Structure 1
């Protein structure tokens, strides 16, 4: 096995794969170490069968019990195929009452392709305002529920602008493979690389009508209009990756986009879009089922990457450049574990005590309702329509909000019995498996009536918005709980700021209005099931939407950031962190496309160095 590479990348998701794709094509030797397995779609296997089971978050094995000495010890859970066993590698979070609970929330998927294998594929750009929230909020006296002035104290502008990242948005959209529409988006496009979207599902007409009402009633200027949600799913043959779409376009439509691997390879995860095209290159290697345990340094260089191979044997590789892209919580954990056993590494990575601080997710939530008629939602993708009206400066100032967000509908909500089973009464990844088990009223005729009233009729509208960065929201190493290798696990310490709660309630009202006025444009008299923000959930502190961001923010001031503007750790010459950790604010949209665009940007910088 080779041990010397130009670049060693830890993680194969949105933060690592664009760098590998770029550098391998430029002739550099690249190794990716991935903790999870390599699962291939049908067209890549000789027998024509997919490695995906369509039940990635479910297990057909026996129930297990949490064994760690935490508040939910003894709670039953099932292991999934691509998430860690809670007993092997839990994340621990602290509830408001001080109880500590074990969870797998915060793992975006341990599999080649990372979270892009299982995400809903929503691939929105951030808005230009998302890059300059410190400047936008300077001197404002109208912010609601911010008594201590935390917005103006804690907000940071990005060290790069939208215009600087825009060419890399274009590159990512071209190479990843995304369908959608650019007109009506409130972001400048220098080039439109979207493939045409499929016909929207009939039930989505309510969302479109409601968004048109919302856009007209939340702006002082000309109405903001909805557009087709950009989704990382190809609808036409995709030349950069060599993928072909089926001759029958109906095959593309599937309610199993969100939370499932795509057996056809149509969802543009980083394996099929960016890594498969380089997989057979002599200067590229990917090693699945390999767990990196620590980094070692000599002076300002990371000299060794230590990992366990699939047999559990410790091995070492070296790279001129080392990229950490494990998803933010695990990246922070890896850097902190590396610092435990190496005082020099500790001094350099903790030069200003900011590593792990300003951990971010997203303010998110929405509204849901049962529509008046039923649609066949097995023929749908995950989101048909989106709108940017809640991201305009006019809207934010009228509501006293510090930052905006995107709103889009979830077409596949309650599409089929199995999608009901993964959402009914579940509150996080750990309880998805419970489904109907704890709702003992759903038996016999009650179950038949429940299915008849809900399948194909449920529609939800979601928002995704910036969370206020707080230094107290952080990732630590837990002092007592260890993983199966004896290493301290990640300890998630976070709260929702009062302004976050106000922001979520405000945008949830907008989502509810989309449903109310989508059915009743004349007066919004339609009754919805409910609306709200994630902070209202029983385990709202753990709910992080798998948008794992911050903790190693980049910036232009070495005293105020962990990484420089090119995501290099300030006191290391060759250590970069390129997953969502680098973000100083979480953005008003789903983060994957921005992580990919920034990684393409970093790749160009690395080419100058190698």
Structure 2
């Protein structure tokens, strides 16, 4: 006999964890099924070699590309999901991102609801995840009904110089929105110590606003919320009509267990959520659960991104580097009429990240590795890849993820890179010394990078072209929802986490009304 709950949530990351937090005060019985465990607090949390070279926290999963070649995806299974390792850059999508946009390589489709629907939930998500920022600096900034809940994180001297130099050449740098528990007016009261290890590292002092710390742990303070760790959900079973999920089947401690709830919410990440629905095929859903439209797994996006370091003419002793953003080229400029994207700083690189990196070693004897690290200023460029039905998740004969992906809309990334690099001499950098960040950031990010994955279970008003309705409920089932970035019809060019969080709050309100 299956255990019964009001809501079962599969996954505890930005979507699932935030939803659990929203539902917790209601008194409804909520079960979170998390494949991983608590991430251990240990010295290796802040060890670049352990995190980036040894892949200490990366899943041992094997996925396959379209040609059947295996690769290890850069995914992490812990309470809090991908947010345990994200850079806590919590941007809103731009208002225009919700409409149809012409790109150099095609159309980015409109969302079925507008920015106005998301705006109040963006505001709530910024409060929940303690986002620090400053309205009015970013020329592409969407409208907001209130200021950021916390003041912007101040720039350290070298980044402040970069900020000033960008302004001098006529650009509009801004304080990047950061989700950290930082009080710069009271060091003793601040959890964040500005160690600089947000991006790609777990936070040893739990001062990063990740879904574990901000959402799941507070939700568990309510007796009606249960977290079951080490529970890998394998499939969803339905009633004979195929209209309702009756059992969530998970492997726990090596044995199969069944759980039941009035509502089932999937939030396992774009690839794994699609995998679960495809693996749940039955007589009523022969092509996969909720897949009458043949859209489950399709339209996989994960941004066209590039990370590189420039060698500063002055030392860069910055520790917390992700305080600056630039969106002047987000929607194009006079010389390129199509959207380009977002420029931000990536976490400060260090010498251990360079071990074995041939491009950086090529700078020797001009620079030793420690000198490269001391002078490195690290940039991250993010542009939009377009949803294409042939870019998709399918399953191998053994049920493993097969990720078929052909890059598209690449010209905006080259255009954005050119605009940044041509300015370097005016920004106190050596223009001839540009080095891809290949150890962790994998310039350009390959399909195995898996960061910012979205789009495989898109929402929409038309059941023939989408999987979910506008409340993120499956068109074909009465009690199945999806709240990770799978629901995105398009990905924009900024980090997707805040949009996932805002949407989880929005769907949470819908579920509270549904459950009474």
TM-score higher than 0.5 here? Answer: yes
Does structure 1 retain, via aligned residues, the 8 Å contact 2:459–2:466? Answer: yes
Match of 2:203 in 1: 262
Match 1:453 to one of 371, 374, 378: 371
Match 2:271 to one of 329, 334, 354: 329
Count of paired positions: 510
Match of 1:503 in 2: 412
| Separation of aligned partners in 2, 1:493 and 1:607 | 37
| Separation of aligned partners in 2, 1:397 and 1:440 | 34
Match 2:71 to one of 103, 110, 118: 103
Does structure 2 retain, via aligned residues, the 8 Å contact 1:56–1:81? Answer: no
Match of 1:122 in 2: 89
Structure 1 residues 151-170: aligned runs within 5 Å: 151-152=106-107, 155-170=108-123
Match of 1:32 in 2: 32
What secondary structure sits across from 2:396 in the alignment? strand
Match 1:399 to one of 328, 332, 336: 336
What secondary structure sits across from 1:7 in the alignment? strand
Residues 359-404 of structure 1: CA distance to partner in whole angstroms, max 9, x if unpaired?
1110212543110111323xx2241211221124xx3574132x34
Please state how far the C-alpha of 1:349 moved relative to its aligned partner. Answer: 1.5
Does structure 1 retain, via aligned residues, the 8 Å contact 2:112–2:460? Answer: yes
| Separation of aligned partners in 1, 2:406 and 2:248 | 34
Does structure 1 retain, via aligned residues, the 8 Å contact 2:325–2:342? Answer: yes
Please state how far the C-alpha of 1:103 moved relative to its aligned partner. Answer: 2.0
What secondary structure sits across from 1:360 in the alignment? coil
Match of 1:387 in 2: 326
Distance 1:106 1:558, change over 3 A: farther
What secondary structure sits across from 1:364 in the alignment? strand
Match 1:83 to one of 50, 54, 58: 58
Residues 37-86 of structure 1: CA distance to partner in whole angstroms, max 9, x if unpaired?
1136xxxxxxxxx35731688659xxxxxxxxxxxxxxxx987443221x
Does structure 2 retain, via aligned residues, the 8 Å contact 1:462–1:511? Answer: no
Distance 1:304 1:382, change over 3 A: farther
Please state how far the C-alpha of 1:601 moved relative to its aligned partner. Answer: 0.6
Residues 401-456 of structure 1: CA distance to partner in whole angstroms, max 9, x if unpaired?
2x34221123x432x333xx2xx3xxxxxxxxxx42x759969x969952242122
Match of 1:603 in 2: 508
Match of 1:5 in 2: 5
Match of 2:351 in 1: 417
Residues 482-541 of structure 1: CA distance to partner in whole angstroms, max 9, x if unpaired?
4xxxxx1111111112xx111110111122145333128xxxx843415899xx978854
| Separation of aligned partners in 2, 1:372 and 1:495 | 38
What secondary structure sits across from 1:24 in the alignment? helix
Structure 1 residues 6-25: aligned runs within 5 Å: 6-25=6-25
| Separation of aligned partners in 2, 1:321 and 1:511 | 48
Does structure 1 retain, via aligned residues, the 8 Å contact 2:307–2:442? Answer: no
Please state how far the C-alpha of 1:211 moved relative to its aligned partner. Answer: 3.3
Match 1:594 to one of 499, 506, 509: 499
Match of 1:180 in 2: 133
| Separation of aligned partners in 1, 2:449 and 2:98 | 21
Does structure 1 retain, via aligned residues, the 8 Å contact 2:98–2:110? Answer: yes
Distance 1:33 1:246, change over 3 A: farther
Distance 1:566 1:398, change over 3 A: farther
Match 1:317 to one of 259, 267, 291: 259
2:226 maps to 1:285:
yes
Structure 1 residues 400-549: aligned runs within 5 Å: 400-401=337-338, 403-410=339-346, 412-414=347-349, 416-418=350-352, 421=353, 424=354, 435-436=355-356, 449-479=367-397, 482=398, 488-497=399-408, 500-519=409-428, 526-529=431-434, 541-544=446-449, 546-549=451-454
| Separation of aligned partners in 2, 1:36 and 1:596 | 20
Please state how far the C-alpha of 1:175 moved relative to its aligned partner. Answer: 0.8
Structure 2 unaligned runs (5+)?
none
2:502 maps to 1:568:
no
| Separation of aligned partners in 1, 2:455 and 2:449 | 12
Residues 98-148 of structure 1: CA distance to partner in whole angstroms, max 9, x if unpaired?
4x43223252x100001111111111111001110x2x43xxxxx64x4xx
Please state how far the C-alpha of 1:564 moved relative to its aligned partner. Answer: 0.7
Match 1:304 to one of 239, 247, 266: 247
Structure 1 unaligned runs (5+)?
41-49, 61-76, 138-142, 217-223, 238-243, 425-434, 483-487
What secondary structure sits across from 1:37 in the alignment? coil
